């Protein structure tokens, strides 16, 4: 039985709109999160134009319109004759930046490879937490890293780029293409029995492999094109250096590589939202065989030029090389910029103010730079990790998201709050999702709960979400939300541990209601309301599904601990398994400290299905990779949506915290100044079968519809209908789970020794 999963993830991130970048978006409660995203987009949807289309091109423009234009009117300022109007306008704007008196150099930060939202939180929001500023430019790569030959988290990375653009920022993408001859690291120069030209010659094996990569990237670019987002695309960077496979001693071969894939994206794939950035290494001698100009693909294939410059003293590059790059007549910047390579712990002493010094004194025509992300484990490169970040981003030379004044930063419409039916003042609600800074748990639960709160609350509510706050900054953020954003309610997400800060704030602001899930808050204060979720029943329902889908009759159950509550949930899961599959066995394994090692141990025992694995997207991703390679694996998640990992999560994120929050808020609005704590579960509608509509992956649903079981009455029913029936019975109170032991394992559970 095969499994499939549609991938769609909603992640709220700081957009920089509103009083400060920590405020994600302000909205009326009648606006869904998707609608809000549409509203702050700089233009409406544009169709991708493929080479076979003959009608006049459709163009995005920065006033938010989509218009039909004749081909003579657009596209001549960029290397792509059919570029969307946004690309033309943005390119012209970049030409003017160096003429500014202030904020003429765009600050930029790379977000790393592995996880889009986490990279944004680590490097962009990490920078904001230190400085109060977000970078004007963010960059990322869709691949999983320089030594890996697959892509990761592509859709969520695309969402990150779109949201930063919609907030008035710029976005750039580069790629660490795997060696197409051997499928290994980009540092591998081996071509087997092939030649360099194979990489741009259709019909060769190397071409076919590289085409797969370009097709993945093109799909994401087309998704961004539909949202009228322009990407600074930096392919085959540092091509004149000897370290990457795309280096060749014959510059003409490199030029052919660049030109072919430029045409492939623009003419074959219909990608028209790119500004092509040529970003070589400066080397030391402009007249050497590796000089940057020798590898230049040509004006008709390049829109922007850059150099990748590293060194403790960035003045070392010969001025002749800088002048050579300016002679090309394109907007110029630094595709990568930082201290010496490879980075070490000693980089922590490298002052970021050195950047402003060289931009003023040595490279005055540069209009952007991109600081790279940190190298694991101790390579320090990101701005948030280096000294003087606040001085840098508040320097009059430097442009941040707040003051870059891009062509699309002034068209985001103001959010209108209130409604004709409500004559009183608007009510502001602050939602602080996480208090643990960089480590984000329960992301989808909280972020989709905010979306849910917007959907079901009265339209006079104004929601002010904050994604993640360092514990040391919590008091300041609470103060800002209450004193500057005038929030009458503050909702705190899961796993808050800053009890003293919250209790102190509740005493300081008695007119604000604090809604918190943690039991550490002072329940004697009348303006603190606690909420919680009872997940009883959901583990039973997932057990029904797991017991039906396993082919090996061995199901893995990974647990944080063997505490009584954990054993009770495992026994509930086993109850569901046994009800549909008496032959199945559930192997219980306690966290050893290395979750992926634990999962591999369960796989080695023959497990092909797993319980919900909370908070570990890396594990879920690895499971999906094994599924893609033919090892049939399936799991559930109590924290992630089922759409997040294609083919792996069958049923996910059951909690609807937005419903709890809305009920508490309405209770207070209706005059109850001391509302009761609210603990809810399936019976209250807070625990759903799963996230999404429908809640289960449609193709897995089809599989479960084919599997029949016999009821005690002798009637047969599909597993899918049986799960739906049991869920409704639990919700209506018509079915009660039997007593489940919390001290010992009940069949079919078996404790697996580590």
Least confident of 148-152, 504-508, 543-547, 613-617: 148-152
DSSP state of 684: G
Report d(CA 608, CA 586) in Å as an integer.
11
- With H, G, I as helix, E, B as strand and everything else as coil, classify residue 447: helix
- With H, G, I as helix, E, B as strand and everything else as coil, classify residue 577: helix
- Helix%, strand%, coil% for the chain, nearest 5: 35, 15, 50
Of the chain, the percentage scoring pLDDT greater than 90 comes to 38
What digits encode the pLDDT tens for the residues 325-346?
999 999 999 999 988 877 777 7
| Other residues' Cβ atoms within 10 Å of the Cβ of residue 228 | 28
Closest by CA to 208, choosing from 200, 216, 196, is 200
What digits encode the pLDDT tens for the residues 56-81?
333 455 433 333 333 333 334 899 99
Residue 236 Ramachandran class (φ > 0 left, ψ -120 to 50 alpha, else beta): left
Q: How many CA within 13 A on the CB side of residue 556? A: 29
Which helix (H) or strand (E) segment holds residue 508: the answer is: helix 499-508
Question: Is pTM beyond 0.75 here?
Answer: no
Closest by CA to 28, choosing from 458, 442, 474, is 458
Query: CA-based diameter of the chain, in Å?
Result: 88
Q: How many CA within 13 A on the CB side of residue 656? A: 22
What digits encode the pLDDT tens for the residues 588-628?
999 888 888 899 999 999 999 999 886 566 677 778 777 77
- With H, G, I as helix, E, B as strand and everything else as coil, classify residue 58: strand
Mean pLDDT throughout 409-419? 28
- pLDDT value for 415: 21
DSSP 373-434: PPBTTTB--SGGGSTTHHHHHTSTTEEBTTT---TTSS-PPPPP---TT--S--EEEEEE--
Mean pLDDT throughout 12-20? 28
The alpha helices in 629-748, defined as continuous H runs, are 657-669, 698-706, 719-732
Report d(CA 603, CA 592) in Å as an integer.
15
Q: Which domains does the chain have, with CATH numbers?
A: 27-35+423-533 (3.40.50.2300), 84-399 (3.20.20.80), 538-654+689-751 (3.40.50.2300)
Report d(CA 554, CA 708) in Å as an integer.
20
What digits encode the pLDDT tens for the residues 417-428?
222 233 446 788
- Reported as a pLDDT band with limits 50, 70 and 90, residue 457 is low
- Reported as a pLDDT band with limits 50, 70 and 90, residue 286 is low
- pLDDT value for 726: 94
Which helix (H) or strand (E) segment holds residue 603: the answer is: helix 595-604
Report d(CA 57, CA 79) in Å as an integer.
16
Closest by CA to 452, choosing from 164, 27, 14, 5, is 27
- With H, G, I as helix, E, B as strand and everything else as coil, classify residue 535: coil
Structural contact between residues 42 and 165, judged by C-beta atoms closer than 8 angstroms: yes
- pLDDT value for 468: 65
Cβ-count burial 280-310 (b if 16+ within 10 Å, e if not): bbbbeebeeebbbebbbbeeebbbbbbbbbb
Virtual torsion, Cα 287, 305, 381, 221, nearest 10 deg? -140
- Reported as a pLDDT band with limits 50, 70 and 90, residue 125 is confident
Asked if residue 410 has pLDDT above 50, the reply is no
Asked if residue 145 has pLDDT above 60, the reply is no
Structural contact between residues 448 and 641, judged by C-beta atoms closer than 8 angstroms: yes
Mean pLDDT throughout 502-524? 80
What digits encode the pLDDT tens for the residues 640-669?
667 666 667 888 778 778 888 888 887 777
- Residues forming a β-bridge with 139: 110, 172
Closest by CA to 172, choosing from 146, 144, 140, is 140
Q: What is the length of the chain?
A: 754
In this structure, the strands spanning 749-751 and 609-612 are unpaired
Positions of E strands within 217-356: 231-234, 274-278, 304-310, 332-338
- pLDDT value for 152: 67
Distances (CA, A) of 600 to 4, 72, 606: 22, 59, 10
- pLDDT value for 712: 85
Question: In sequence order, which residues have a C-beta less than 8 Å from that of residue 617 and are 6 or more positions away?
Answer: 115, 640, 644, 645
């Amino acid at each position: 039985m095969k499994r499939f999963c549609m991938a769609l993830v909603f992640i709220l991130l700081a957009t920089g709109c509103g009083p400060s970048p920590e405020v994600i978006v302000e909205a009326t409660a009648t606006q869904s999160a998707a609608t809000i995203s549409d509203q702050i987009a700089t233009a409406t949807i544009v169709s991708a134009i493929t080479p076979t289309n003959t009608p006049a091109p459709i163009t995005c423009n920065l006033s938010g319109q989509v218009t039909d234009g004749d081909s003579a009117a657009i596209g001549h300022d960029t290397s792509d004759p059919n570029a969307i109007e946004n690309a033309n306008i943005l390119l012209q704007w970049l030409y003017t930046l160096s003429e500014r008196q202030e904020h003429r150099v765009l600050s930029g930060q790379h977000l790393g490879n592995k996880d889009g939202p986490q990279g944004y939180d680590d490097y962009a929001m990490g920078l904001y937490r230190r400085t109060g500023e977000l970078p004007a430019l963010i960059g990322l790569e869709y691949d999983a890293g320089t030594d890996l030959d697959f892509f990761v988290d592509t859709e969520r990375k695309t969402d990150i780029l779109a949201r930063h653009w919609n907030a008035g920022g710029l976005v750039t993408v580069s790629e660490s293409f795997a060696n197409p001859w051997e499928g290994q690291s980009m540092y591998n120069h081996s071509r087997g029995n092939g030649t360099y030209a194979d990489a741009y010659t259709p019909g060769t094996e190397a071409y076919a492999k590289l085409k797969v990569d370009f097709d993945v990237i093109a799909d994401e670019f087309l998704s961004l094109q539909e949202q009228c987002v322009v990407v600074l695309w930096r392919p085959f960077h540092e091509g004149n250096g000897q370290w990457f496979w795309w280096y060749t001693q014959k510059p003409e071969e490199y030029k052919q590589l660049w030109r072919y894939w430029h045409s492939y994206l623009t003419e074959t794939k219909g990608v028209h939202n790119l500004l092509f950035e040529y970003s070589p290494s400066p080397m030391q001698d402009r007249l050497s065989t590796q000089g940057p100009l020798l590898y230049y693909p040509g004006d008709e294939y390049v829109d922007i030029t850059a150099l990748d410059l590293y060194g403790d003293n960035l003045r070392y590059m010969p001025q002749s090389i800088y002048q050579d790059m300016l002679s090309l007549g394109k907007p110029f910047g630094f595709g990568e910029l930082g201290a010496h390579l490879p980075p070490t712990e000693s980089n922590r002493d490298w002052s970021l103010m050195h950047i402003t010094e060289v931009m003023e004194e040595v490279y005055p025509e540069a209009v952007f730079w991109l600081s790279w992300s940190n190298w694991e484990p101790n390579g320090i490169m990101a701005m948030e990790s280096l000294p003087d970040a606040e001085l840098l981003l508040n320097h009059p030379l430097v442009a941040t998201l707040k003051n870059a004044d891009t062509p699309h930063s002034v068209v985001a419409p103001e959010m209108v709050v209130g409604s004709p039916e409500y004559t009183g003042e608007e009510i502001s609600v602050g939602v602080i999702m996480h208090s643990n800074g960089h480590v984000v748990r329960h992301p989808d639960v909280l972020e989709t709960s905010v979306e849910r709160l917007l959907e079901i609350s009265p339209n006079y509510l104004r929601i002010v979400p904050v994604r993640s706050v360092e514990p040391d900054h919590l008091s300041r953020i609470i103060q800002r939300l209450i004193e500057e954003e005038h929030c009458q309610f503050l909702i705190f997400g899961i796993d808050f541990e800053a009890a003293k800060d919250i209790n102190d704030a509740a005493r300081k602001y008695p007119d604000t209601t604090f809604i918190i899930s943690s039991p550490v808050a002072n329940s004697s204060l009348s303006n603190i309301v606690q909420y919680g979720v009872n997940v009883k029943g959901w583990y039973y329902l997932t057990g029904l599904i797991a017991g039906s889908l396993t082919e090996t009759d061995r199901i893995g159950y990974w647990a944080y601990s063997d505490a009584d509550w954990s054993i009770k949930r495992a026994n509930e899961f086993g109850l569901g398994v046994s009800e549909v599959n008496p032959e199945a066995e559930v192997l219980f394994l306690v966290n050893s400290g290395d979750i992926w090692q634990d999962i591999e141990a369960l796989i080695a025992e023959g497990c092909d299905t797993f319980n919900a694995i909370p908070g570990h997207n890396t594990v879920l991703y690895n499971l999906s990779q094994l599924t893609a390679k033919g090892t049939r694996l399936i799991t559930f998640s109590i924290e992630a949506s089922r759409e997040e990992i294609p083919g792996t999560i069958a049923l996910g994120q059951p909690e609807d915290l937005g419903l709890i929050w809305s009920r508490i808020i309405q209770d207070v609005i209706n005059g109850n100044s001391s509302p009761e704590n609210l603990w809810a579960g399936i019976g209250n509608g807070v625990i759903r079968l799963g996230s999404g509509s429908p809640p289960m992956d449609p193709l897995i649903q089809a599989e479960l519809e084919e599997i029949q079981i016999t009821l005690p009455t002798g009637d047969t029913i599909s597993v899918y209908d049986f799960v739906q029936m049991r869920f409704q019975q639990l919700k209506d109170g018509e079915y009660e789970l039997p007593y489940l032991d919390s001290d010992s394992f009940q069949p079919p559970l078996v404790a697996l020794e580590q």
